[in-house]
Amino acid sequence: MRPYILAETNYLAIKDQKFELVVLPWGATEAHNFHLPYATDNIESDLIAAESARIAWERGARLIVLPTIPFGVNTGQRDIYLDISINPSTQLSILADIIDGLNHQGIKKVLIFNSHGGNDFKAIVRETGLKYPGMFICVLNWYQALDKSRYFHHEGDHADEMETSLMLHLRPGLVLPKDQWGEGREKKFRIKAFSEGWLWSERKWDRVTQDTGIGNPELATAEKGSQYFRDLTKKIADVFYELCMSEPDEMYG
């Protein structure tokens, strides 16, 4: 039993605990190229959040990790078979209900541990924060925490070299043999402003990729995944610890 994982602990163990921070992992259920499982984002979220929490807990931080929300915003993947999508308004309702319960119980710091690029929480957090002004709500996108070019050769953002390496390290039994990996080729918008980042539209997944991957996984290895996982969880653990040791009214200096 890990005392910082709510799904594993029990009421006897936590009824007298005072947790400073609640971590809410949020993933997605979607195809990840040909070779990675539909639950890739959830597996990554589960294991990265848990290991980061372990490191912070052993330093004295008191935090609790909730079960991962397994469905995310996948509106651009409607035509990909069995990709499961919830609407942003649904995501807002789920988060608001969770925040309402935590606020009622006196927990004032919540970190959304995001594992899926389609989950854009900024507007949702703004709206929820107005209803619960005493709550401190923040969002961590773990895949943006490190410079991936220090670990991986090929760029990408979905079932790419990074995610494949992570899964080879974390759950190798769920990764298909290399001869079944897709190339992760991406078709990009023809209008230049999209690639420059100041014009945006949702990508239609069935039009931009043939294997559902974005990024070539060819050079992925478990060794790369292991090093990335170690460095990533150490960095995230520092954030968990700092949030636990900081009061909401003292976040600004």
- pLDDT at 37 > cutoff 90: yes
* pLDDT tens, position by position, 139-172: 999 999 999 999 999 999 999 999 999 999 999 9
Q: Token pair for residue 15?
A: 């009824």
Superfamily of domain 11-250: Creatininase (3.40.50.10310)
- pLDDT at 251 > cutoff 90: no
Residue 126 CB-half CA count within 13 A:
3
Please give the pLDDT value at position 252: 87
Percent of the chain with pLDDT over 90: 97
Please give the pLDDT value at position 248: 85
Query: Mean pLDDT, the chain, as a whole number?
Result: 97
Q: What is the residue-wise DSSP string for 133-157?
A: TT-EEEEEEGGGSS-GGGT-SS-EE
Section 108-131 average pLDDT:
97
Q: Token pair for residue 13?
A: 């163990």
Please give the pLDDT value at position 60: 98
Give Cα separations from 128 to 3, 43, 66, 123, 236 (angstroms).
28, 27, 19, 9, 24
The residue ranges of every structural domain in the chain are 11-250
> What contacts 8, CB < 8 A, 6 or more positions away?
1, 2
Please give the pLDDT value at position 2: 97
* pLDDT tens, position by position, 201-250: 999 999 999 999 999 999 999 999 999 999 999 999 999 999 999 998 88
Please give the pLDDT value at position 166: 98
> What contacts 58, CB < 8 A, 6 or more positions away?
none
Please give the pLDDT value at position 253: 84
* pLDDT tens, position by position, 85-113: 999 999 999 999 999 999 999 999 999 99
